[in-house]
Amino acid sequence: MLLSFLQSDLRKLGHNSRRRSLSSRSGIDFSSNDYLGLAQSPRIANAIKKALDDGVPAGSGGSRLLRGNHPQHEALEAQAAAFFGTERALFFSTGFAANMALLATLPQRGDLVIYDSLIHASAHEGMKLGRAQFKSFPHDNASAVEDTIIAWRKAGGTGCPWIVVESLYSMDGDVAPLSELVEIANRTDAMIIIDEAHATGVFGESGKGLGEHLHNAENIISLHTCGKALGCEGALVCGPKVACDFLINRGRGFIFSTAPSPLMANAVRESLNILADDPSLRSALHSNINFAEQVLAPFGVKPTGTQILPLVVGQDDLAMDLSQKLSDRGFDIRAIRPPTVPEGTARLRISLTLNASQNDIRHLADALEACI
């Protein structure tokens, strides 16, 4: 069998309780990233319907540098730059594509990328494709960042340091020390890339993210995914105009990709309008966060102050078993296993969204008591 080595690897994954498979969504939503419940927003649906009636096409028909550039893309980028308070914004089809393009394109040969050890997989893929040297630092350890840059300079490093972090980490639910990291970047003449994927829409004024007061600095590039709290698809790279222009000219992931759907660009525009118009959505989510931390903490759920609450189980098979037991009781909570999380920290990732009420959270606590 030509592909027997693939089957062998899959069997090994299954033996270790790490084989993945696709499953239909069912049960109360405690697993999605649709934090504000906007994926089924009537306002966004109506915006798409109107755009269709106005002749906006479903497909772009080509890359942005060919015929794929549509007025909806440009309108979204102008609106996003104004919303997040940056000089320029650039729309990508996914957050993975945006992260990969950023790290593969902007840091140059002779530069050093210093990244948090728990950074997204997409950033790792971008660094592998890029020209710069890269080195991790212990999670959330800002002093290690400065020490690494100083040691690199003493060893003869002359390029630009790039600090790469997430503002809110997707599996632990904790928040990066952004202000401290930006101070280090300013002292060391470094650039900093802040991935706001899980903070956009949830934190900051009008949902601008945890780094909202930092975004307009010339040494900061922020990434805001549209497929989580914004309820749509795609991602927005926001920052200095020169960085976005460089991505347009040198970013292979941008240049050689078919442009995102103009309809989706229109949908994201409406999502940004909702963030600005309706602060009650964020207030309701934060109320759910406070309630969940109180009722779930007795069962080992770690309070984080954010919408992501991990229940670390340890062993892969135990996490899978607990996830299945909760599924049988009508709750959709997925088990997260290595390599997504470190060895020995398999967990249930409890994601709080407006798709689940406080009454649902109370019932989840009852289910956890029964299962644990």
Catalytic machinery residues: 33, 120, 166, 170, 195, 198, 228
Q: Report the 10 Å Cβ neighbour count for 213.
A: 15
- Per the structure block, which two tokens stand in for 125? 């893929």
- Per the structure block, which two tokens stand in for 201? 């829409």
Q: Report the 10 Å Cβ neighbour count for 96.
A: 19
Q: Please report, as a single letter, which amino acid is at residue 22.
A: L
State the number of CA atoms in the 13 A half-sphere of 50 facing the CB: 10
Confirm if 313 and 346 have CB atoms less than 8 A apart.
yes
Of residues 283, 301, 315, 280, the one with CA closest to residue 350: 301
Q: How many helices (H) and strands (E) does the chain have?
A: 13, 12
Confirm if 349 and 310 have CB atoms less than 8 A apart.
yes
Q: How far is CA 285 from CA 209, 216, 229, 281, in A?
A: 15, 27, 11, 6
Helix pair 316-328, 358-371: axis angle to 10 deg: 120
316 - beta bridge partners?
none
Confirm if 223 and 97 have CB atoms less than 8 A apart.
no
91 - beta bridge partners?
236
Residue 135 burial (10 A CB sphere; 0-12, 13-18, 19+): middle
Cα–Cα dist 67/52, whole Å? 19
Residue with tokens 């990244």: 115
Helix pair 95-105, 121-129: axis angle to 10 deg: 30
